[in-house]
Amino acid sequence: MASLITCPHCGTRPKEEFTIRGDAAPRRPGSADRDEAWYAYVYIRDNPKGRILEYWHHAGGCRRWLVVDRDNLTHEVFGVVDAADFQRTEAAE
């Protein structure tokens, strides 16, 4: 059985319609932040195993960016939200 991702806009679709960008946890530094903060944001990444939040692009569908909550060992998907909604929630915290 193919891996499926439930897009909040298009419904359940095969993972081949999506491209992955990576970890959604790092927060972008502000324009006034030091070079070290930008270096860490661009180049230094953890490589966790297990359940993480990742950015995915629905390239073969609505072309929206999504945040997928999944386990990168078992590939089980726990939830999907639109990236814009995710950003609003993060900004409110």
Q: Where residue 75 sits, what CATH number does that domain have?
A: 3.30.2270.10
Write down the pLDDT at residue 2.
64
Question: Among 49, 93, 38, 42, which Cα is nearest to 75's?
Answer: 49
Range of the domain at 31: 4-92
Q: What is residue 1's predicted lDDT score, i.e. its pLDDT? A: 45
Distance CA 20, CA 18 (A): 7
Per residue, the 3-state secondary structure of 21-69, as one string, reads: EEECCCCCCCCCCCHHHHHHHHHCCCCCCCEEEEEEECCCCCCCEEEEE
In sequence order, what are the beta bridge partners of 71? 51
**pTM of the full structure:** 0.84
Q: Measure the CA–CA gap between 14 and 34, rounded to whole angstroms.
A: 41
Domain count, the chain: 1
Q: What is the mean pLDDT of each run of 10 residues along the chain (93 residues)?
A: 86 95 89 95 89 96 96 93 90 74
